[in-house]
Amino acid sequence: MLKLAYVALAIAMGAGLAPAVAAAAGEAAATVNPAGEKLYKSACIACHSTGVANAPKLGNKEAWAPLIAQGMDAMMQVAIQGKGAMPPRGASSADDATLRAAIEYMVQSSQ
């Protein structure tokens, strides 16, 4: 029911294909890969919502600023290899693209 409504809304707006096209186009400004938020909400959230074992909390600008300053490559390295209590790939089975999207989601929510 919800799904139908969503599809109907998308068609009505004439934007049914837009998100897929945008994702394929790569890092277009302000484009969000929904897989990032999805991965965050299934796995990363376990620690990053409350700051388990000193994980930088989602939305904590001060905690994230130095990490964001190091850049995406450095954050990806931590996400892939793990660091301290953070397990490799955040203990998920996600691929690099999805991990990157999850980091982008966390960064956007913490700036």
**Residues forming the site for other proteins (CB under 8 A):** 41-47, 49-53, 84-85, 87, 90-93
- Residue (89 or 100) nearer to other proteins, CB: 89
- Residue (55 or 68) nearer to other proteins, CB: 55
Neighbours of 20 (CB within 10 A): 9
Give least dist CB 46 to other proteins, A.
4
Cα distance between residue 93 and residue 91, in whole Å: 7
36, 103 in Cβ contact below 8 A? yes
- Residue (22 or 63) nearer to other proteins, CB: 63
